[in-house]
Amino acid sequence: MIYRSMYTAFFADKNITDKKNPNVKVMTLSFYENRVFLYMETTVCDLPPEDAVEGSFLPLPDGSLWQRMADVFHYSYPQSEAHWKRTEPIRALDVRINFLKPDMVGSYVFYHHQFQEECPGGNGGDKYGIIFLLGNMIVMHLEPPYRKDETPGVGKLHTNNTPHDTWQSLMNSHFVGWDDSDEYWKNIECRVLCDNE
């Protein structure tokens, strides 16, 4: 079984290193301002980020270093190790950040869950694409070149309510927006820390 997760922490510096844990299949780091986002695919459920990386992190008020983000949307999910195996190493990443209007978080999660379960594979979206949420902050992890999942799993909904024709304008209405850009999503610095495929 493969488990996907994203954690975030505040870093003191960007010198974060891989612990070479054999249970971590894919690990990427992304940076936005003073935060780091750690994306992992592991063979161990709830593997702590401390078991995957080491570095200098700033403690949160409760003394912890990492916060786990919730998976609120994925185009596909690992059905088996063979199904999820990448045919080549990750060379490029497309990681983006955005912020939701606080009163629109529930709506955003609702629409994305509906889309995910009505349209397994996301109508040709990136097989490895996934969106994580913490509070009203969302981070999208994509891996170009985007690959369609040729054998997507089965969704949990048998309805057809996702508003595909107005999807983009509907989603844009959920975002806070940026003072320095008309774009809704901001690309952030990212790098592959390891790829044990």
Domain ranges of the chain: 3-195
Residue 50 clears pLDDT 60, i.e. is over it:
yes
> Cβ neighbours of residue 139 under 8 Å, at least 6 residues apart?
6, 8, 30, 37, 69, 95, 96, 97, 98, 131, 132
Torsions phi, psi of 7, nearest 5? -125, 155
| pLDDT confidence tier of residue 195, bands split at 50, 70 and 90 | low
Question: What is the pLDDT at residue 89?
Answer: 84
Residue spans of alpha helices (H) in 37-104: 81-84
Confidence at residue 88, expressed as pLDDT on a 0 to 100 scale: 83
Q: 132 has which bridge partners?
A: 71, 139
The beta-strand segments (E) located in the chain are 3-11, 17-18, 24-32, 35-42, 53-54, 57-58, 67-74, 94-99, 130-134, 137-142, 186-187, 189-195
Per-residue pLDDT tens digits for 94-151: 999 999 999 999 999 999 999 999 999 987 889 999 999 999 999 999 999 999 999 9
Find out whether 70 and 8 touch, Cβ atoms under 8 Å.
no
Question: Could you report the per-residue pLDDT of 61-97, keeping only the tens digit for each?
Answer: 999 999 999 999 999 999 999 999 998 888 889 999 9
**Contact (CB, 8 A) for 12 and 18:** no
